[in-house]
Chain A
Amino acid sequence: EIVMTQSPATLSVSPGERATLSCRASQSVSSNLAWYQQKPGQAPRLLIYGASTRATGIPARFSGSGSGTEFTLTISSLQSEDFAVYYCQQYNNWPGTLTFGPGTKVDIK
């Protein structure tokens, strides 16, 4: 099973600042990596797929990069609505197990 790790666990950022979130896979997942945003009491929302492609309706301040085992989600200028938990997920080894990272909570500094 591919293990996903995320860092940091919590990121405290002021509105308007840049946030950089990291995700690492225990083995290569190529570019088969997605990022999700989840707010309390809500289902996750897809932000990025294919490591760097924004999903429909996602603002340009969200960007993804990386391939293989190292990935980054960048939020260029944090808005109030961006404070949430962010998960990465690999989907490289279907029909094997698809795995999520443990999440990074972005909160207000």
Chain B
Amino acid sequence: QVQLVQSGAEVKKPGSSVKVSCKASGGTFSSYAISWVRQAPGQGLEWMGGIIPIFGTANYAQKFQGRVTITADESTSTAYMELSSLRSEDTAVYYCARDLSEWLPHKQGDAFDIWGQGTMVTVSS
């Protein structure tokens, strides 16, 4: 059974960066897209971007372009999300999530069936 285990909570100053990890265990890593989704306190879900580890290139939501970097390390089955120029509005729980099925050419996209436990990032001076 595949599990995604994320790194622990972070407290950051405005203007700094945070890097959250998401380690997959128990199954295939490289051929499934991993996305990052965040949720501000009391708010809804917001997709930030995703990556297909076997290709290594990421796709980002326009809102986060230039501020987020998503990477993956196939050797350790770990995905990373780094968010820079942090502001108070970035205070949120950050989730990684895996696609339901493996990547295929011309695949439109997929639902997320496996989620990490979430990482709370607090931005405060």
Residues of A within 8 A of B (CB): 1, 30, 32, 34, 36, 38, 43-46, 49-50, 55-56, 87, 89, 91-103
Interface residue from A43, A94, A95 paired with B118 (Cβ < 8 Å): A43
Cα of A60 to Cα of B62 in the assembled complex, Å? 37
Contact mask for chain B residues 84-125; partner A; CB cutoff 8 A; 1 contact, 0 none: 000000000001010010000001111111011110000000
Which 10 pairs between the two chains have the least Cβ-Cβ distance? Answer: A91-B109, A94-B109, A34-B111, A49-B111, A43-B115, A95-B59, A100-B45, A98-B47, A97-B61, A46-B113
Could you say which residues of chain A place their CB within 8 Å of the CB of B62? 1, 97
B115 engages A87 (CB within 8 Å):
no
Residues of B within 8 A of A (CB): 35, 37, 44-47, 50, 59, 61-62, 95, 97, 100, 107-113, 115-118
**Can you sample 14 A-B contacts with CB below 8 Å?**
A1-B62, A30-B108, A32-B108, A34-B111, A36-B112, A38-B45, A44-B112, A50-B111, A89-B111, A91-B109, A92-B109, A93-B109, A94-B108, A100-B44
Residue of A nearest to B115 (CB): A43
Shortest CB-to-CB span from A88 to chain B, Å, is 10
Alpha-carbon distance between A44 and B117 when the two chains are bound, in angstroms: 10
Q: How far, in angstroms, from A44 to B112 measured CA to CA in the complex?
A: 9
Q: How far is the CA of A101 from the CA of B47 in the complex (A)?
A: 11
CB distance from A68 to the nearest CB of B (A): 14
Point out the residues of chain B lying under 8 angstroms from A100, CB to CB.
37, 44-47
